[in-house]
Amino acid sequence: MFNFEFYAPTRVIFGKETETRAGELVKEYGGTRVLIHFGGKSAERSGLLDRVKASLDAAGIFHVELGGVVPNPHIGKVYEGIELAKVNNIDFILAVGGGSVIDSSKAIAYGMTEPDKDVWELYAHERQAKGCLPIGVILTIAAAGSEMSNSSVITNEKTGTKRDYGNNMGRPKFAIMNPELTTTLPDYQTESGCTDIMMHTMERYFTQGGNMEVTDEIAEGILRTVMKYAEILHTDPTNYEARAEVMWASSLAHNDLTGCGNDGGDFASHMIEHEMGGMFDVTHGAGLAAVWPSWARYVYKEDLPRFVRYAEKVMGVTRTEGLSDEDVALAGIEAMEAFYHRIGMPVNMTELGISPTEEQMQTMAEGAVRAVGGPLGSAKKLEVEDIVKIYQMAK
């Protein structure tokens, strides 16, 4: 195993009606002038936004609102939020939504502490943040895990570039998690979220070098749990227990718990999908499902023991007489594809609804390598030509 540091300072308030505590929590963490940041109209239609505002009012906290965050959140909305926050002397950002809203909130929070600089420079990896306003979260979508992570992903809609930035200053102070808030999500969004949760775990699982048995067991337990409840939610979307299990798994999958003792993770599938998201604006979880099987078939021989363990302990593949390690690993990948189909997820780009040209695949592959400043991955180091082959396999 490798040495590691584990830092997960976000306070979690979990359960029914917990959103009514927003005001007291913001006040406890020093907020006096709040920007409520949210996505579409669902927060308004459901009455959630009114409950949040009432809670802030009861605590005597000034607030303004900025909605309109879209999936693959745009830097243009971040700039709008920074300007609104500056005009109103905002000292706390309250994200009401899922990963896109939380990521946009983090970017605004970074931008507010250095208003004379372009916050996109952080996502272009041209500099590091010097500060970040405090952030609170009321989670409405179980997927990204941004409510407990140090990372965020923003899209530059003018260039079609999707980039990530991670800094511990961006970890939310608190995360309110009421599973009931997720029951109205469309099935496709729910299952895309479940896929993203699993991928955050799997990216840390398929690594080279050191591993800890306890970390592996936690990761495998999260994966099996999400698979079980993703299938339940596919047919019973209002099942509270299933919503709760998936929501908590979302946070555990991306607060670095499942990476303790390994080399930091692979994350090639995420980088490959980010380029697709930037170019084609696809749903993130669905995009991950579309590329993972091809990535897995391209790299599994380089990381065979991990793929064998995954097949047996997560996918339930039984080794029968005559099966080689490669047979078991490939059976695990096939079982994963079957699971994706059972929950309505794609397993290639055609099923995802996109058909990039050879030129576009080359551009995306070059962008993925450029984004991290070198080869991708841990299970197998991927150069531009490797990524192009994976895109071709995933068509």
pLDDT, one tens digit per residue, over 203-234 is 999 999 788 999 999 999 999 999 999 999 99
Name the residue with higher pLDDT: 371 or 84: 84
Establish if 229 belongs to a structural domain.
yes
| Bridge partners, 11 (sequence order) | 174
Confidence of residue 322 (pLDDT cuts 50, 70, 90): confident
Establish if 23 belongs to a structural domain.
yes
The Cβ-side half-sphere exposure at 264, using a 13 Å CA radius, reads 4
What phi and psi, each to the nearest 5 degrees, are found at residue 156?
A: -85, 100
pLDDT at 238: 95
Rg of the chain's alpha carbons, rounded to an integer? 20
In a shared domain, residues 102 and 240:
no
pLDDT at 321: 81
Q: What is the arithmetic mean of pLDDT over 17-44?
A: 95
Establish if 339 belongs to a structural domain.
yes
Establish if 6 belongs to a structural domain.
no
Is a pLDDT exceeding 90 seen at residue 329? yes
User: Domain of 333?
Assistant: 185-393
CA-CA-CA-CA torsion for 369, 371, 374, 378, nearest 10 degrees? -80
Is a pLDDT exceeding 90 seen at residue 43? no
342-352 pLDDT, tens digit per residue, is: 999 999 999 99
The domain boundary, picked from 146, 181, 216, lies at 181
In a shared domain, residues 313 and 218:
yes
The domain boundary, picked from 162, 181, 200, lies at 181
166-200 pLDDT, tens digit per residue, is: 999 999 999 999 999 999 899 999 999 999 999 99
Confidence of residue 288 (pLDDT cuts 50, 70, 90): very high
In a shared domain, residues 244 and 115:
no
pLDDT at 320: 86
In a shared domain, residues 172 and 34:
yes
In whole numbers, what is the pLDDT of the chain averaged over residues? 96
Confidence of residue 22 (pLDDT cuts 50, 70, 90): very high
Establish if 207 belongs to a structural domain.
yes
pLDDT at 345: 98
Establish if 369 belongs to a structural domain.
yes
Q: What is the arithmetic mean of pLDDT over 93-107?
A: 97
The domain boundary, picked from 181, 212, 242, lies at 181
In a shared domain, residues 89 and 234:
no
69-95 pLDDT, tens digit per residue, is: 999 999 999 999 999 999 999 999 999
Is a pLDDT exceeding 90 seen at residue 44? no
* pTM for this model (two decimals): 0.92
CB-CB contact of 151 with 165 (8 Å): yes
Q: What is the arithmetic mean of pLDDT over 37-51?
A: 91
* Maximal C-alpha separation, the chain: 70
Burial of 385: CB neighbours in 10 Å, binned 0-12, 13-18, 19+: exposed
> In CATH, what number is assigned to the domain containing residue 175?
3.40.50.1970
Establish if 1 belongs to a structural domain.
no
Is a pLDDT exceeding 90 seen at residue 26? yes
In a shared domain, residues 113 and 191:
no
> In CATH, what number is assigned to the domain containing residue 224?
1.20.1090.10
Q: What is the arithmetic mean of pLDDT over 127-140?
A: 97
Structure tokens at 358: 């050879």
